[in-house]
Structure 1
């Protein structure tokens, strides 16, 4: 029997906000009326307030960010991120603005992910409404609850992560989603590492998202080379450019394009190696494990494995997780 959330602990506005978010999730895609509200030339304190409440607009923006990882959706994610930033900053008008915005984004992200758990969602909806006012005591309590450090409102903290991955390698988040999570954590400098090559549209999305959130983004490409008779790995960081356009122009130079094409060939070779390992697991190791453990496991499907990897580059780590997830 499904447990009902006790109405005594929540007021009508909590249920209203939850209904708004769940309506967004049920629809899957944004209706035209809401898509038009994501336009960058419309101010959150303007006509948008007459068309839809702030909670609804924030929910739509979060859903847009947590949605598709398809390459063609990059511009949609950027628009959603810019709209989300404007919404959370306009909703928190106190001197505790940035920390309030971080809390609102984190709570709404958790609320979207808690679909199907009504009690959990109602608690988060209530927390969202309480934090919305920007009262420092409540915001600090929410920061502690979500294991987030309080950051200076001057946004001059020394916080960085020098090696992360997005969905284009072995991560599970789109570049924009990765930057949003980094901003929520208070990170100001981020190095995103790719294997063997990187695509121009991925770099453009990262740099644009970084400029929206005021995060200094560095691109790293992990390459292999021979050194004293052995293979070594090193990360080539694309740094020292005048601006983002300068970096993108550098990637379009013929020598760089030739190097990246060689990197793509290396990635294709590595993919063939991983798929060969998958086939070898089916032929040799799976029957042995089944016999030793007394189980009957299904044969791994190559196409299903590639769908599991998604936009990333297949690796032995992906294969191990795929086997474990079964």
Structure 2
């Protein structure tokens, strides 16, 4: 079907987190620091997993894939905002805005699905340890990663192509620091009720299915751990999934918090600030969570940085 918009291609004005010129340097410095920490931390995780043979396991394969996703989603949003602040030009073309929107949806959905795949990996490792090598083979891990990517890409294509069927209004202001789906649809001149319903349905499906999988996996993990007779054995079993559980809680807590804040506040600027909690903060903190709570990862990072093998 042809897009409804046949007139001139509109442009959007991304207002960012604040319109106060005095605060722009502070915002620039803060987000530049956050971006550098995010990229450096996740690259260290990727290099540590790739260079340390004991970490060539399914759990760390998914972890390194998650780190790549974190770098990609941060690169999709933060550099554009930094360039806008530096150049004092906050405009975004319609194709550029849709491209950014698509990448945000792809990598955000991929991160969501990867957390579910990692929960399944921990479920098999703890509840079916004798079958772990067979169930979580290299082929299965690759298929799971591709399935996550396909699921996220399909959802992103659906929501990215959807605005093309809407009649675009004149150039409009978007109170956000990146092109967000609801904001783009809200600037349309067409009736968006069906599209808004589709957005909420798709978002609920994309977030709900992995979340159900995570809850299912951890309910069985907890049940299995309670059957372990020794306290030391239970502690060791839980330590293998403690880092992942922390990342899951961080990801969903920030996402749910942003959703609830958007329902109770009518300030678009406050919603933009709240969005930082799920599009920036988890990606920066994930490497710290895994490196601080995981002894194997700390050893691999030490070897990568100092050249001293773990245990010496």
Where relative contact order (Cα < 8 A, 6+ residues apart) is larger, the structure is 2
Structure (1/2) with the larger helix percentage: 2
Structure (1/2) with the larger strand percentage: 1
Using the size of structure 1 for normalisation, the TM-score is 0.29
Using the size of structure 2 for normalisation, the TM-score is 0.30
Between structure 1 and structure 2, the one with the greater Rg is 1
